Structure 1
Amino acid sequence: MEIFVRFLLFLFVFNTSPTWATNDRLLHFKGIVCNQCQQWCENTDLVTLGSIRVGKAGPRGIRGQRGPQGIVNMTLVQQIMDRKIEQALQLFNGRSCDGAKLESAIALNDSGGVFKSYIPAVGYKDVFCDVTDEGGNWTVFQRRMNGDVDFFRSWGDYVNGFGDVQGDHWLGLEAMHQLTKTGNMELKIKMIKRDGIYWFAKYSSFRIGPGSDNYRLHVSGYSGNTTYDGLTRHNNHQFSTKDADHDDWTMNCASSWGEGGWWYIDCADSNLNGNFNKTVNKGFWWKRYSLLRFSEMKIRKRNTRTNPIRKLTSYRSSVSLAE
């Protein structure tokens, strides 16, 4: 029926002058059709019939019923919250301890403190920042002071890090790579021999390669007061552990000789991650088997503008480091 009516409308339109589109003419046409099609006419208005003229909108209809309650995606909410927290806590963003502020420290001692640092591709890690030695800004990545942490560990442990940054610890190879990959870093090693003599060795250039290259060591520019340079010969060598042999020896230096993770050659000029209590090759020593009772390895941006030495007494937190 609707098709028939629209056909009549078509004939009406094209056989009428351009002034046909008046309400009177449309009503007249509708009256003709409605005489034959009463039921269809009652359910059809001018808009449906010709789509010629739209009248003013009528009153708002009755509001529909409230739909079912939505379901909250808690996983998405948690992800958003985690991102916000990351943004809020992103203190150094991979810049190591450069610019660390004492009031942000988790804990302090006379040389520095523990800070929460965001390291790209690693996440948040507690790091110890030395803010006093030669102007500060040092990120400590290795410390041996009492031997209560076992350093004869797996590859995974050395990649991710272990120990307590307030004491004996290893920050992690991946973190070290991320912090040094720009190549603009220097290294300082502090050591105390078993006879109480203090040593230090500095290297003007220090960088750790990516995991795909087994965290290869790039180091040069030695200076210091040690009798011998115990690290330069390790330059351009990959890291090895008891379960990941990347050294130049026919056997595994880490498991058969050094009892630690290190950039072994065939095997080593130093073994700062060796057994804390043993002597000779498997022990904890610098070149020529100089046995140690303390070591600390730390990095900072080369040629950085250092901060003046600061007294930390007024900044001590309620949770202090062991003296």
Structure 2
Amino acid sequence: MVVLTDPALDLISLIRSPKPAACFSGVPVVDLTKPDAAARLVEACKEFGFFKVTNHGIPVEFMRRLEAEAVNFFSLPPVEKEKSGPAKPLGYGNKRIGANGDMGWVEYLLFAVTSKPLSYTPMDFLREPSACLFRSALKEYLSAVRKLASQVLELMAQGLEIEPRDVISKLVTSEASDGIFRLNHYPPCPVLRGSNYSLTGFGEHTDPQIISVLRSNNSTGLQIALKDGSWVSVPPDEESFFINVGDSLQVLTNGRFRSVRHRVVANGMESRVSMIYFFGPPFAEKIAPLPQLMGEREHSLYKEFTWDEYKKAAYKSRLADNRLGPFEK
């Protein structure tokens, strides 16, 4: 039995680590330069709601530069980091995830992203040149990932054999699109070293948006749930990106694609830094199955709603809740 002597850990759930803690070898890998990329994307979205993309064209230096700036920020004394928070909902947060009681062994920075400059810059309190370096790395990274997301969504439309090709991608690239960028840091937890347990870093959930594009350093922690409900660990790959299907894309495809349930576990040894760009549609956008996908006698599995309605409902829920449940017919 593990006894947590740190009061800060009392509200964070323990997860028993399987032995051996092998990584899942079945994560779909999509090479974006291959002619079968569109078909493989669709297959992965139907079976897992999750896949890895390689040969994405984004220089590794972009990723490592932003990661280095994030590490510098999270290495600051707590009093300095807290100058950029609390996260309500943007800015710096520590352990508390949202306002509904979810807790995790994580600290984070949240940014709102639009086609215009970042609407919130929590590094503003940093002295130059640190703030300038952070902004530069962030702008460079977000611009590249935005193009990647558009490419992936256009390939999905191609694989689904629907037109126009930008029918999905245009939802996340317009000036009104609702983007969120998250930098997460899962620090080591010395009290767990040598035990068979891990701490909940970020509890199980699905992402409300259309897709999420994730990159992390070369450390384990990310887990996804398979169709049978079992949890598997995703092998880390700091040079590739992982894509999550979100709830909104599950609705747009009338359930053909699966919104993946996932979580992050924090162990006692490694520090994990992840960078997630959540691609949401404009707030007024109506979310309903795409007409191009609906067969003659096919009925929608979901009630129509706007992204604003769904986002508000999602933020009122707990992480593990079935957020789409109330919107199912």
Shorter-chain TM range is: under 0.3
TM-score with structure 1 length normalisation? Answer: 0.22
Q: Report which of the two has the higher share of strand.
A: 2
